[in-house]
Amino acid sequence: MTNRLAQAKSLYLRKHSENPIDWWSWCDEALLTAKTQNKPIFLSIGYSSCHWCTVMEGEAFSDLAIAEYMNANFLPIKVDREERPDIDSIYMQSLQMMSNGQGGWPLNVFLSPEDLVPFYAGTYFPVEPRFGRPGFLQVLQALRRYYDTEKDDLRQRKAVILESLLSSAVLQLDDATAQDDELLRQGWETSTVIITSDQQGNRFPMIPYAELALRGTRFTFSDAGQQQSRYNGKQVCTQRGLDLALGGIFDHVGGGFHRYTVDSTWTVPHFEKMLYDNGQIVEYLAYLWSSGVQEPAFERAIALTVKWLSREMTAPEGYFYAAQDADSFTTAAEAEPEEGAFYIWSYKELQELLTALELTELQQSFTVTPNGNFEGNNVLQRRYAKELSDTTKDALSKLFVARYGATSNELKTFPPARNNHEAKTGNWLERIPAVTDTKMIVAWNSLMISGLAVAYRVFQQPDYLELATRAAKFILDNQFVDGRFHRLNYQLSPSVLAQSEDYAFFIKALLDLQVSSPNQTFWLEKAIALQDEFDEYLLSVQLGGYYNTSKDASQDLIVRERSYVDNATPSANGIAIANLVRLALLTDNLHYLDLAELGLKAFRAVMSRSPQACPSLFAALDWYRNSTLIRTTSEQINVLIPKYLPTAVFTSVSKLPERSVGLVCQGLKCLPAAESIEQLLQQVQQSQTRG
């Protein structure tokens, strides 16, 4: 017997279709039913590759006693956070308000039906009390009793939560100058401290922070009363690159990066692979290489990740899939998948698969031991950074065959298992792969397109650009319905109006592609058209910045947020403001610059008060203060684009002043025409460190 979610397009929602809970999706009918029946809403938010979401689905949400009580006393609604990040953002903020900043998924929130204001929230709830947490049935009973008998306290509690949500959403413009040198320094130093901090526990890529710290390595700051000193975070940024390219967070056999490690040594990952992480990491490692840190492990990690992307994460139509699960089956007869089964190696396996010399050299390069580092098995983590020996590469190639059943050169495509049934019944030559969530998300595809475009500029690999171009053209050809941009695509069917991150990230991707095609204006024209739609439906004209949701799709939200905090992905407003500066330079339209300045004023107080929260806004401020337009020939552009020039845009021109090779413009003024490529580069570098 299935519930309503059996008809959902979302893989995450369909995973709950056989629960005895009478789930609804988020829709007008569900909200009206809850209000009519005076049932508090149980809102549960997660995503398909979330481990603890999967655990709770198999435990509490499959329990008959819990389902019976839930169905009688609450109206249960399931939301895929990847479909509706706006809903997730509002109620995650509510959880953090109620729990001193703690958050995570599954996100379980209890709402009053008449106004959708939350009054209680948590994450994972076990069936029976354990892990210091109450049993879920106890929670449900206590909250229904509270809802029925403590009306005054309930009203006061909701008022406090709603006031906090509204105050965080309605930021006042800061009239102080947006171009503040000290503010920039504060942002760079904060990001450097964050990615160098020796915290215990999970380690995440945190690319927006690493990318901002890398930007800061260009600068020399002057301390009052002290000599000028170079602020240099290059070592910090290099170490973050090494952590990623050498650590267990990277799949050294098949390519691609896992979401995070469960330890502080970058050894054992949580094995899900998210498209958004991989796009950002590829871009960061390429920028790190272009800045002068030409570590072979970076180039290898990018190359293997692009192969993984092409082989396992690219649809025949050219777009990229969303994610791969952490868990997979070891055999088709297994009842439940096991964490990391597709990726880990027992020492006995390695002895059987490799020659004695190969195993010895593998152990010299990787942390491979008889006892393993993960439940008796081995996650491959490199011991040091240098070129791998041919013997070690041969060993890794054998492990690839042992996992996939063919060599990397032979296996051009590896079709996804879209659910557990397909995983168990697929004709796999060797190991059973994890389930892949095959939906297309514009924002995540855009991050990958940008990563590929930057990697192409740095390494000049045509297949990088080809993958990026195909994905971008799919979005342009398929994601507009009745003139409106859409966020998702399920089996060639667009769905859900685009949100701010979809607009901002895709405009950035189009501008990144434009850099790689200096003789064309196609990508720029598409970016301009999409920016027009973005401004029409999501721009806050009076306050600055962009709302998460369009003005005609916000009726069921208790607040209309303008997100500025970076999480696993950059903030939409940080990327959007940087895009506006780039568009102003490329089009000579100062209206874009006005919008960028208004956006920076909107968030300046947040940047000053909480620099640790918003690295992408600081990157946008860097663009605003140090933007550089380079007018030169396409031949000279091709010489310049592999270099690390993070606030430069390029315009190809056929005619230049006599005896000149290019013209550099800073803001609203241009420098004398450069008469040599060396002078041009010197002017560009000086222009990008104006501070």
pLDDT, tens digit (0-9, with 9 covering 90-100), for 111-165: 999 999 999 999 999 999 887 788 999 999 999 999 999 999 999 999 999 999 9
Higher pLDDT, 290 or 677: 290
Report the pLDDT value the prediction gives residue 223, as an integer from 0 to 100: 47
Average pLDDT over residues 408-434: 95
Q: Where in the chain is the domain with CATH 3.40.30.10?
A: 4-169
pLDDT in tens, 339-361: 999 999 999 999 999 999 999 99
Report the pLDDT value the prediction gives residue 669, as an integer from 0 to 100: 87
Backbone dihedral region for residue 372 (phi beyond 0: left; psi -120 to 50: alpha; all else: beta):
left
4-169: CATH number: 3.40.30.10
User: Cα-Cα-Cα-Cα dihedral of 451, 457, 463, 464, to 10°?
Assistant: 0
Report the pLDDT value the prediction gives residue 688, as an integer from 0 to 100: 87
Structure tokens at 175: 């009239």
Strand pairing report for 41-46 and 75-80: parallel
Report the pLDDT value the prediction gives residue 147, as an integer from 0 to 100: 96
Average pLDDT over residues 672-691: 89
Burial class (CB in 10 A: 0-12, 13-18, 19+), 640: buried
- Contact in structure between 308 and 400 (CB atoms under 8 Å): no
User: Please, which pLDDT band fits residue 586 given cuts at 50, 70 and 90?
Assistant: very high
User: Please, which pLDDT band fits residue 177 given cuts at 50, 70 and 90?
Assistant: low
User: Please, which pLDDT band fits residue 228 given cuts at 50, 70 and 90?
Assistant: very low
Average pLDDT of the chain?
94
Threshold 0.85, pTM exceeds:
yes
> What spatial distance separates the first Cα and last Cα of the chain, rounded to whole Å?
63
Rounded distance between C-alpha atoms, residue 650 and residue 640, angstroms = 9
User: Please, which pLDDT band fits residue 232 given cuts at 50, 70 and 90?
Assistant: low
Report the pLDDT value the prediction gives residue 658, as an integer from 0 to 100: 85
Rounded distance between C-alpha atoms, residue 31 and residue 652, angstroms = 54
Average pLDDT over residues 543-551: 95
Report the pLDDT value the prediction gives residue 196, as an integer from 0 to 100: 86
SS3 assignment, position 133: strand
Cβ atoms within 10 Å of 392's Cβ, excluding its own: 20
| Cβ neighbours for 388, distance < 8 A, ≥ 6 positions apart | 300, 365, 396
User: Please, which pLDDT band fits residue 1 given cuts at 50, 70 and 90?
Assistant: confident
Report the pLDDT value the prediction gives residue 519, as an integer from 0 to 100: 83
The CATH classification of domain 440-626, taken from the options 3.20.20.210, 1.10.3720.10, 1.50.10.20, 1.20.200.10: 1.50.10.20
Say which range, 169-173, 403-407, 644-648, 657-661, has the weakest mean pLDDT: 169-173
With tokens 């339209």, the residue in question is 589
pLDDT in tens, 467-483: 999 999 999 999 999 99
Report the pLDDT value the prediction gives residue 641, as an integer from 0 to 100: 95
pLDDT at 551 over 90: yes
Say which range, 471-485, 574-588, 671-685, has the weakest mean pLDDT: 671-685
User: Please, which pLDDT band fits residue 198 given cuts at 50, 70 and 90?
Assistant: low
Percent of the chain clearing pLDDT 70 (strictly above): 97
Higher pLDDT, 441 or 228: 441
